[in-house]
Amino acid sequence: MRAQSSMIDLLFVIAPHSLLLDIAGPAEAFRLANLHRADRGLPPKFRLRFAGASQTTVTSVGLSLDHLEVLPRVLRSPTWTVVVGQPSAYAHKATPAIHTLARYLSQTLRGHLLAPGSPHRLVTICSGTVLAARAGLLDNRQCTTHHHLIGLLRTLAPRARVVENRVFLVDGPLASSAGVTAGIDLALHLIAGECGDSLAASVAEDMVVYLRRSSLDPELSPFLAHRRHTHAAVHRVQDAINAAPERDWDMAALAALAHVTERHLLRLFVLHAGVSPLQFLATIRLERARQSLEHGSNVTVAAEAAGFSSGLRLRRAWQKKWGGSPRDARVTAAVSRAS
């Protein structure tokens, strides 16, 4: 999660016949992220903006969008340009409107995407990656798109590293996704990166969607694992553990949160989350300790922050889960920061 607190503009670039879900799905995820930040006493992080080559355009389902912004020529604040997709039949056509948008993207974003440390990002949803290819913005980047358009993408972006059968890919300032619902997956991933895994999990729960990461990631984040269910009581207990793993939790306290007996809570967790409540707690505590160590804490401080009664308890849990010692994570992080 980034430490910076500046607002990020989400500039949705909308072509004629854009897929409505490509717009609404990610936009709703970012709106809910702001709502959950407000619930936690935090300022909004994302500002939603919608722009197009004309003020009015029709979407894939025939619904018209009006009062779109004029495409800004200068990005005056940190901006994630979100290029949404069109149905396959339209994605194959290089219409005058598509040429206009491709020129705009090329002129506005090319320099920003090449600049080291740029606060700007290009996010493509479904066939939006094809439009980015027409703009020449994918060279030497990994990217993906809908499986029906992989061949077209490789033709339009021969110097890109096009990867098929991926939900989404993030390569530096470029983030691309495969299909309409994959845009929500990508939005949740980006929200987690800016606002934390726990908040992203809350957004996913509100949207009643699975939390899913790219298959490039070696392991699902512990904050996101065991959340692929819709049981409200189990989510409530998981949210409480995620928010304060350092508390002196026991089965009685967790069952009280769920308003069920301890035995019934155990059954619910095993059925819906695939682990027991205390196993889930142990996983979250280890992840919290790992993060503390990577931020420079010693083993004793990391153990206390994560809810372990001592550094020895942390070492034993670490050895059982991963092998080695918690100090290994601290040393690795120190080396990474020095490089």
User: Hey, what domains does the chain have and what are their CATH numbers?
Assistant: 8-207 (3.40.50.880), 226-339 (1.10.10.60)
The conformational region for residue 19 under phi > 0 = left, psi -120 to 50 = alpha, else beta, is beta
pLDDT at site 61: 95
The token pair at 274 is 């695939």
**Consecutive H or E run containing 106:** helix 96-114
The token pair at 225 is 């694992």
pLDDT at site 175: 96
**Does the pLDDT of residue 334 top 70, yes or no?**
no
Percent of the chain with pLDDT over 90: 73
pLDDT classification of 51: cutoffs 50, 70, 90: very high
Q: What are phi and psi of 175, to 5 degrees?
A: -125, 125
Q: How many helices and strands, by DSSP H and E, does the chain display?
A: 14, 11
pLDDT at site 339: 42
List, in sequence order, every residue forming a beta bridge with 174; answer none if it has no partner.
122, 171
Closest to 279 (Cα-Cα) out of 302, 251, 303: 251
CB 329 within 8 A of CB 337: no
Q: Which residue has the tokens 């939005």?
A: 187
CA distance 192 to 209: 15
Q: What is the DSSP string of 210-252?
A: -----TTSSS--TTTTT--S--HHHHHHHHHHHH-TTS---HH
Q: Which residues, 6+ apart, have CB-to-CB distance to 246 below 8 Å? A: 285, 288, 304, 305, 306, 307
pLDDT classification of 210: cutoffs 50, 70, 90: low
- Say how many C-beta atoms besides its own lie within 10 A of residue 231's C-beta: 15
**Does the pLDDT of residue 254 top 60, yes or no?**
yes
pLDDT classification of 336: cutoffs 50, 70, 90: very low
**Does the pLDDT of residue 220 top 80, yes or no?**
no
pLDDT at site 218: 36
**Does the pLDDT of residue 57 top 90, yes or no?**
yes
pLDDT at site 68: 97
20-39 helix and 197-207 helix, angle to the nearest 10 degrees = 120
pLDDT classification of 333: cutoffs 50, 70, 90: low
CB 135 within 8 A of CB 109: yes
Choose between 321 and 1: higher pLDDT: 321
CA distance 175 to 110: 15
Residue 35, Cα to own-chain centre: how many angstroms?
A: 16
pLDDT at site 214: 44
> Quick one: average pLDDT of 9-22?
97
pLDDT at site 219: 40
pLDDT at site 64: 96
**Does the pLDDT of residue 335 top 60, yes or no?**
no
By mean pLDDT, which of 4-8, 35-39, 159-163, 300-304 is the weakest?
A: 4-8
Name the pTM for this structure. Answer: 0.68
> Quick one: average pLDDT of 105-110?
97
pLDDT at site 209: 79
**Does the pLDDT of residue 216 top 60, yes or no?**
no
**Does the pLDDT of residue 221 top 90, yes or no?**
no
The conformational region for residue 41 under phi > 0 = left, psi -120 to 50 = alpha, else beta, is left
pLDDT classification of 72: cutoffs 50, 70, 90: very high
The token pair at 91 is 């994605």
> Quick one: average pLDDT of 317-321?
89
Q: Which residue has the tokens 């901006």?
A: 79
pLDDT at site 47: 98
- By 3-state DSSP, what share of the chain in percent is helix, strand and coil, each rounded to 5? 50, 10, 40
pLDDT at site 322: 80
CA distance 136 to 123: 14
CB 76 within 8 A of CB 117: no
Please state, rounded to an integer, the average pLDDT across all residues of the chain: 90
**Consecutive H or E run containing 88:** helix 88-91
**Does the pLDDT of residue 325 top 50, yes or no?**
yes
**Does the pLDDT of residue 147 top 80, yes or no?**
yes
Q: What are phi and psi of 5, to 5 degrees?
A: -110, 0
CA distance 181 to 277: 30
pLDDT at site 135: 98
